[in-house]
Structure 1
Amino acid sequence: MTLWNLGSINADYIYRVPHIPAHGETLTSSGRQVFLGGKGANISVAAARAGAHVRHVGAVGADGRWAVQRLLEYGVDTRQIAEVETETCQAMIFVDPDGENTIILHPGANMAIPPDVLDQALSQAETGDWLVMQNETCLQAEAAALGKDMGLRIAYAAAPFEAARVQAVLDRLDFLTLNAVEADQLHRATGLAPEALPVRDVIVTRGGDGATWFGPDGPAHVAALPVTPVDTTGAGDTFTGYVLAGLDRGLPMKQAMAQAGRAAALMVTRAGTADVIPDLAEVQAFRG
């Protein structure tokens, strides 16, 4: 099957700082790197490296042609990525010595994906394919409605969290992943705990404490591998991409989550985003 990812594409500017900046504070960075990123691109790369057939639907400006080329090099089908007359999204990421981060996004082309690009892409989808989305692009409600009508399986990573945008697609979802803070925010907005949401499979990630699945045979918890983090940026996206790729290959949920947990654990030992997401051979060999 195919994973169709309506996803963001970012240029990630990562700065190493002594601590996360406080209000009004000026810091000197000890290092600066530029990576391919965005929750969408990260999930596409992770799923492709986990063995899935991934077709990315999105947009960049002329300044983002390098990002499209890099996605292609990582095994992602890029034919549904439009070039639009605005700049590619930029993310400013500040990472402290413990690997924790603060991120500022300038959305750019991610919010200018032409509707006809989405329509043309999904016209090629087949019943049973996955449609994956996150909260960093436009057209999510339209995509969810179209995908559901076509018999696609709809997956949603609810970050960056906005309750109204999640609620707009909630009744069309088959799979939802969010972290513990986002799960609490959604609970407050809807009055529904994860196990009560109208979604077949809900996964709440808990960082170093692993992840909990709420589904037909849940709840079930999968522990995280103990590692020393270097950079937590992109770990959640890596987990999501690996889970979806595992499910697409027919793995049971807990097995897909365990494999995804190893991928995320390995990911946090590396500095960077999409460019350093591990492939399946690395993940299978990794034991922490």
Structure 2
Amino acid sequence: MGKQVLSFGEVLWDAFGEEKMAGGAPMNVARHLVQQGVDTLFASRIGTDASGYDLAGFLKNNGLYSDLIQHDKELPTCEVTVQLDDHGHATYIIPQPVSWDNIKADDKLLDAAKATDVIVFGSLAARDKTTRDTLHTLLDESDAIKVFDVNLRAPHYELSTLELFAAKADIIKMNEDEANLLIGSSNGDALQTKIIEFQKTYHNDTIVITRGGDGAIVWHDEKLYEHAGVPVNAVDTVGAGDSFLATFIAGLLDERPIPEILDRACKVGAYVATQRGANPVYPEGLL
């Protein structure tokens, strides 16, 4: 029997002007895991409105709908306004509260967390107390490998919450800006030195820092690994980090060597950056 991943958190509509695309980092990670053949469950909460109905259909079409998708009769389904700059980098206007702020720790979700091999979670869904408490419960009740995708969206986080989740994570993934916030200003120290200091504080097994077009750096099993990145002409960066993380997790589950995992993750992330949206279909030969 293969390993299973439970991805937990927000699902939403990303609105690019008149165009809407289904999104949310945990959902994107789940979709990329499915595309890479990993047995994946997705847990979230949607509204009972038209947007929620459409999202339910989208999740069903992509193999991600189950009884772990809760329905909220009060709070709306989330619709995020996405703004892209001249370099394809996105900023997000995220309403609050929305349905995924109210994910409950019901028996189905607890049972799934206890039975799975990996739990992937981010910081955005933990912005409000209900979902944050649910996430803490799942992590405390499960023996799964915990993967924290830092994924900051200002102003929807507090440093104290990030530190609590960082301490519970076996694997933590962040970009350079997020690393600077969590690890602290460099004070002239190299990023590699700061990563080691961070690990001594939080005792993570694996620390992954993505660097956009400059690749990524990984601390794993007392060693540092670096990848210079794959040069591409980016269309938009939405979902690139999510695809990187999914590929990294899939590689760990396949017990591939870290340099190979890092190379594959950088290639997939770079490809996604050349495509519109977070979840393009992979071309033959990408993996």
- TM-score for the superposition, normalised by structure 1: 0.83
Q: How much does 1:100 deviate?
A: 1.8
Q: Does 1:134 align with 2:122?
A: yes
Q: Which one of 130, 147, 157 corresponds to residue 149 of structure 2? A: 157
Counterpart-to-counterpart distance in 2, 1:195 and 1:128:
29
Q: Secondary structure at the match of 1:221?
A: strand
Q: 1:124 to 1:272 in 2, by over 3 A?
A: closer
Inter-partner Cα distance in structure 1 for 2:270 and 2:20: 22
More off after superposition, 260-269 vs 91-100: 91-100
Supply the distance in 1 between the matched residues of 2:94 and 2:285 (Cα, whole angstroms).
30
Partner of 1:59: 45
Amino acid at match of 1:14: F
What secondary structure does 2:37 align onto? coil
Corresponding position: 1:239 with 2:241: no
Q: Does residue 47 of the first structure (1) align with residue 33 of the second (2)?
A: yes
Alignment partner of 1:226 is 2:231:
yes
Alpha-carbon deviation of 1:71? 2.5
Query: Is contact 1:57–1:121 with CA below 8 Å preserved after alignment?
Result: yes
1:140 to partner: Cα distance: 4.1
Q: Deviations over 1:51-110 (max 9, x none)?
A: 211101110112222223223322335330111121111111111332122211114112
- What amino acid maps onto 2:142 in structure 1? M
The equivalent position to 2:82 in structure 1, one of 59, 70, 93, is 93
| Alignment-derived partner of residue 35 in structure 1 | 21
1:133-191 C-alpha deviation (Å, 9 max, x unpaired): 011214345434543543111001012263222111222210000001110100239x9
Q: How does 1:273-284 map to 2 (within 5 A)?
A: 273-274=278-279, 276=280, 278-279=281-282, 281=284, 283-284=286-287
Question: Structure 1 40/282 Cα, relative in aligned 2: closer, same or farther at 3 Å?
Answer: farther
CA RMSD of the aligned region, Å?
2.3
Please tell me the residue identity of whatever aligns with 1:67. Answer: L
Paired with 2:39 and 2:195, the residues of 1 have a C-alpha distance of 29
Relative to the length of structure 2, the TM-score reads 0.84
Q: Using a 3 Å threshold, how does the CA distance of structure 1 residues 112 and 148 change in structure 2: closer, same or farther?
A: closer
- The corresponding residue for 1:12 is 14
How far off its partner does 1:33 sit? 1.6
Q: Is the CA contact (8 Å cut-off) linking 2:114 and 2:144 kept in structure 1?
A: yes
Q: Does the alignment pair 1:260 with 2:265?
A: yes
Q: Where in structure 2 are there 5+ consecutive unaligned residues?
A: 188-192
Q: Secondary structure at the match of 2:183?
A: helix
Matches of 1:218 and 1:67, distance apart in 2 = 42
Q: State the distance in 2 between where 1:247 and 1:58 align.
A: 25
Amino acid across the alignment from 1:6: F
Q: How many residues align?
A: 263
Matching residue of 2:101: 111
1:257 corresponds to which letter in structure 2? L
* Cα distance in structure 2, aligned partners of 1:103 and 1:282: 33
Supply the distance in 1 between the matched residues of 2:247 and 2:109 (Cα, whole angstroms). Answer: 22
